[in-house]
Amino acid sequence: MARETGILADRAIAALFEQGRLKSERALDQDQIQPASLDLRLGQKAFRVRASFMPGPMSLVSDKLERLSLHVIDLSESAVLETGCVYIVPLMESLDLPAEMSASANPKSSTGRLDIFTRVITDRAQEFDKIPSGYRGPLYLEISPRTFPIVVRQGSRLSQIRFRVGNALLQEPELLALHGAETLVAAAQPNISGGGIALSIDLAGDNDGLIGYRGKHHTAVVDVDKKAQHDLFDFWEPIHSRGRNELILDPDEFYILVSREAVHVPPLYAAEMTPFDPLVGEFRVHYAGFFDPGFGHEAAGGRGSRA
């Protein structure tokens, strides 16, 4: 029996383009469609604004930009986006969703690792990163580099969108049953409650005691489209355990840490991390929260992967 609710996989996303439900200013990049999401590309212009804004149910983003924009930056070649500044960029993709389909957006993992705060905005939006059922219109991306100044250009991909029909979330009994059948998290006593799986930080580290990295300030720029082109230690300070299974997080600092547990997402499922949980702490635990189907799957060469 076919599913009536769920996340759209890559073939269904490609079909949205064929049906005119997804549109773009130019042809898709070859690798733009991911297993259960679509990468979104920056358009030609970036608008520098004083602060983030929510359009509200009666307003278009373009109308807000006419009033709130400080200046316009041409992205047709490349441009530097500075830390501490807020930019709004029209995206190359637009939507004409059917009434039963909604979507949500999230930064790409590479964006999150660079401490680039991004949120997708729609016309008449009352929430960030949420696209309501049946939405028809353009998409915009709010960008605010927090630690490193970045170089972007038209076509750069900082965010991704995931489409869903109905309520695709598993309830706690379903999640427990799936864990029993598939082992979603490798832990002696997995913490599964409230419809989610809690993850903890590995504070023991590797053989050298390395547990993570803290972002440096006042660095050179990072070109988001150049992979493996920057020296790690020009931008990151290693953090070692020094024999203590504890770590004090300084306010307003950016850390990259690894989970103690290995995570497994079965091929017919996808997962998302919760950015805030006040029961754990008053801080954001991640920027990029999408897990693709098959993440850490044994048949794909893994036996769980740490987040």
Domain span at residue 248 reads 172-306
Rg (CA), the chain: 20
With 90 as the cut, is the pLDDT of residue 205 above it?
A: no
- Verify that 295 and 179 share a domain, yes or no: yes
- Verify that 124 and 231 share a domain, yes or no: no
- Verify that 134 and 223 share a domain, yes or no: no
pLDDT value, residue 1: 36
Taking only the tens place, the pLDDT of each residue in 140-163 is 999 999 999 999 999 999 999 999
Q: Show Cβ contacts of residue 40 under 8 Å, excluding neighbours closer than 6 positions.
A: 91, 92, 93, 105, 120, 139, 141, 157, 158, 159, 160, 161
Residues of the chain above pLDDT 70, percent: 93
Band (pLDDT 50/70/90 cuts) for residue 2 is very low
With 80 as the cut, is the pLDDT of residue 216 above it?
A: yes
- Verify that 42 and 155 share a domain, yes or no: yes
Q: What is the CATH number of the domain that holds 24?
A: 2.70.40.10
- Verify that 80 and 144 share a domain, yes or no: yes
> What does each C-alpha distance from 22 to 15, 35, 214, 221 come to in angstroms?
9, 17, 39, 33
Taking only the tens place, the pLDDT of each residue in 91-137 is 999 999 999 999 999 999 999 999 999 999 999 999 999 999 999 99
- Higher-confidence position of 142 and 273: 142
Q: Where are the beta strands (DSSP E) in 62-177?
A: 69-74, 79-81, 86-96, 101-107, 116-122, 130-131, 136-145, 150-152, 157-165
pLDDT value, residue 234: 96
Mean pLDDT of 184-213: 86
Q: Show Cβ contacts of residue 295 under 8 Å, excluding neighbours closer than 6 positions.
A: 263, 264, 265, 271, 302, 305
Domain endpoint, select from 165, 191, 212: 165
3-state secondary structure at position 13? helix
For Cα atoms 59, 60, 63, give the angle at the middle one, nearest 5 degrees.
100
For residues 222 and 177, give the distance between their C-alpha atoms in angstroms, rounded to a whole number: 44
- Higher-confidence position of 62 and 180: 62
Band (pLDDT 50/70/90 cuts) for residue 285 is confident
- Verify that 265 and 223 share a domain, yes or no: yes
Q: Show Cβ contacts of residue 165 under 8 Å, excluding neighbours closer than 6 positions.
A: 4, 5, 6, 8, 100, 101
With 90 as the cut, is the pLDDT of residue 26 above it?
A: yes
- Verify that 159 and 10 share a domain, yes or no: yes
Bridge-based pairing of strands 45-49 and 196-198 is unpaired
* pTM for the structure as a whole: 0.91
With 70 as the cut, is the pLDDT of residue 281 above it?
A: no
For residues 164 and 102, give the distance between their C-alpha atoms in angstroms, rounded to a whole number: 6
- Verify that 152 and 24 share a domain, yes or no: yes
Q: Show Cβ contacts of residue 213 under 8 Å, excluding neighbours closer than 6 positions.
A: 232, 236, 237, 238, 239, 255, 256
Is 302 contained in some domain? yes
Is 1 contained in some domain? no
With 80 as the cut, is the pLDDT of residue 15 above it?
A: yes
Taking only the tens place, the pLDDT of each residue in 232-256 is 999 999 999 877 888 888 988 999 9
For residues 176 and 6, give the distance between their C-alpha atoms in angstroms, rounded to a whole number: 18
Average pLDDT score, the chain: 90
With 80 as the cut, is the pLDDT of residue 298 above it?
A: no
pLDDT value, residue 282: 66
For residues 195 and 201, give the distance between their C-alpha atoms in angstroms, rounded to a whole number: 20
Taking only the tens place, the pLDDT of each residue in 85-103 is 999 999 999 999 999 999 9
Q: Count CA atoms closer than 13 A to 15's CA, side-chain side.
A: 8
- Higher-confidence position of 68 and 262: 68
- Verify that 71 and 129 share a domain, yes or no: yes
For residues 87 and 80, give the distance between their C-alpha atoms in angstroms, rounded to a whole number: 11
